[in-house]
């Protein structure tokens, strides 16, 4: 490795995370349409020849009104337009959703409104209108800074177009993040270090850096099963992961979640609501929600969701109470992704009993330097983040 092993720990923020129980809630809005389906993508995304924009706008507003009736008296802290490709939404639809949300709930003074965008010149031309609609944070799917890699990933843009869109975004929005995918087939450590150094030089306050994984049901899964797609082995992937953590930390954007890196204060407040197991409402096809101890899921196929909204006034397929133990386990699994870790007293309160951890396993992992427990706070240490997928099943009591 050209980058040394990261230290066992990073300095943690002095302040404890906020009291999630009294925190603002979050709103997720799903736009399911894409120009094309990427071979690695297992998200609820669909390609359609045409979209009835007026009907979709009305359906989103109806689905939103249903959630508002279920969440009265709350304050909205963040909105996230995800997909799919929500930068394909007409800015008028984005504005209508945000206006309706503001009419249903009071907004936090610093409300965060994020929209995911593809970095094409066509979509970048909408950025100014989206900013006027109320979007104040954009997340760009650059995915790579190499044209051959972009073709392999099935992206419609090239590097020059992507960087042009990034420049437009930085001029239009106060906060900009972008995604890159590492651990691509044949990617060397030196090549990734050079690519990441270039990415860090653009000066955004947030980066999402994901290792390529083969998800079931994707074209890459078919390619991998046939032996035509081979990802870097475990040692090579570990080198890439450690280099990523070291370089982002040195640049002042340490990892605050296993794949997300930010300057202090530039973290995604919306995603922190998920990871801290706060309440969030989800509208649009396939959207999930967690509100007041209930799990909600919308119908996934766009046409089925539209029909359900027309019929019922909302697109919910299932709404079920979560058992206390399930809530505790979910909160534990989500929170241990974060550098700050979890408050075991809160986990216990969610479950109505002791926190569902295997104390003996935690003690053994602590001896190995992989986790740390300080009173009621449990967190995965820097050395353990590389092994998070293996650590979580050990920590959670059966």
Residue with tokens 């082995």: 233
233 backbone dihedrals φ, ψ, rounded to 5° = -70, 175
Instruction: Give the CA distances from residue 232 to residues 1, 144, 215, 240, 254, in Å, rounded to whole numbers and listed in that order.
Output: 14, 16, 16, 10, 24
Maximum alpha-carbon separation in the chain? 59
Q: What is the dihedral of CA 219, 274, 343, 24, to 10 degrees?
A: 180
pTM of the model: 0.92
CA 331 to CA 172: how far, in whole Å? Answer: 35
pLDDT in tens, the chain (398 residues): 333 333 445 444 433 444 544 589 999 999 999 888 888 887 888 888 889 999 999 999 999 999 999 999 999 999 999 998 999 999 999 999 999 999 999 999 999 999 999 998 888 999 999 999 999 999 999 999 999 999 999 999 999 999 999 999 999 999 999 999 999 999 999 999 999 999 999 999 999 999 999 999 999 999 999 999 999 999 999 999 999 999 999 999 999 999 999 999 999 999 999 999 999 999 999 999 999 999 999 999 999 999 999 999 999 999 999 999 999 999 999 999 999 999 999 999 999 999 999 999 999 999 999 999 999 999 999 999 999 999 999 999 86
List of domains in the chain: 20-275 (3.20.20.70), 341-395 (no CATH)
SS3 category, 283: strand
333 closest CA partner among 356, 352, 349? 356
**What's the rounded Cα separation, in Å, for the pair 18 and 10?**
20
Q: State the DSSP H helix or E strand holding residue 165, giving kind and residue range, or none if neither.
A: helix 159-172
Q: Classify residue 10 as left (phi > 0), alpha (psi -120 to 50) or beta.
A: beta
């Amino acid at each position: 490795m050209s980058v040394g092993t990261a230290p066992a720990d990073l300095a943690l923020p002095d302040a404890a995370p906020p009291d999630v129980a009294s925190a603002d809630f979050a709103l997720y809005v799903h736009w399911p349409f894409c120009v094309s389906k990427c071979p690695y993508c297992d998200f609820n995304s669909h390609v359609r020849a045409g979209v009835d924009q007026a009907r979709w706008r009305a359906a989103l507003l109806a689905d939103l009104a249903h959630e508002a009736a279920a969440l009265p008296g709350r304050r909205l802290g963040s909105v996230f337009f995800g997909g799919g490709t929500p930068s394909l939404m007409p800015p008028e639809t984005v504005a209508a959703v945000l206006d309706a949300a503001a009419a249903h709930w009071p907004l936090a003074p610093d409300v965060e409104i994020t929209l995911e965008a593809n970095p094409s010149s066509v979509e970048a031309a909408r950025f100014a209108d989206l900013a006027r609609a109320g979007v104040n944070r954009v997340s760009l799917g650059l995915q790579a800074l190499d044209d051959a890699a972009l073709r392999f990933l099935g992206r419609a843009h090239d590097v020059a177009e992507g960087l042009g869109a990034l420049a437009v975004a930085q001029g239009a929005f106060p906060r900009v993040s972008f995604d890159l995918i590492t651990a691509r087939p044949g990617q060397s450590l030196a090549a990734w270090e050079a690519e990441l150094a270039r990415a860090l030089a653009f000066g955004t306050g947030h980066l999402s850096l994901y290792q390529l994984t083969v998800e079931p049901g994707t074209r890459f899964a078919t390619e991998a099963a046939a032996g035509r797609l081979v990802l870097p082995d475990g040692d090579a992937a570990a080198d890439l992961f450690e280099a990523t953590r070291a370089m982002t930390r040195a640049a002042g954007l340490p990892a605050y979640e296993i794949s997300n890196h930010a300057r202090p204060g530039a973290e995604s407040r919306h995603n922190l609501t998920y990871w801290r197991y706060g309440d969030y409402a989800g509208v649009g096809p396939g959207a999930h929600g967690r509100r007041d101890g209930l799990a909600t899921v919308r119908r996934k196929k766009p046409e089925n969701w539209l029909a359900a909204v027309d019929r019922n006034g909302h697109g919910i397929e299932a709404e079920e109470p979560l058992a206390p133990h399930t809530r505790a386990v979910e909160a534990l699994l989500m929170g241990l992704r974060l550098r700050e870790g979890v408050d075991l007293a809160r986990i216990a309160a969610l479950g109505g009993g002791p926190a569902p951890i295997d104390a003996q396993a935690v003690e053994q992992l602590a001896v190995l330097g992989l986790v740390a427990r300080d009173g009621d706070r449990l967190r995965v240490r820097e050395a353990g983040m590389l092994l998070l997928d293996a650590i979580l099943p050990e920590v959670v009591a059966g």
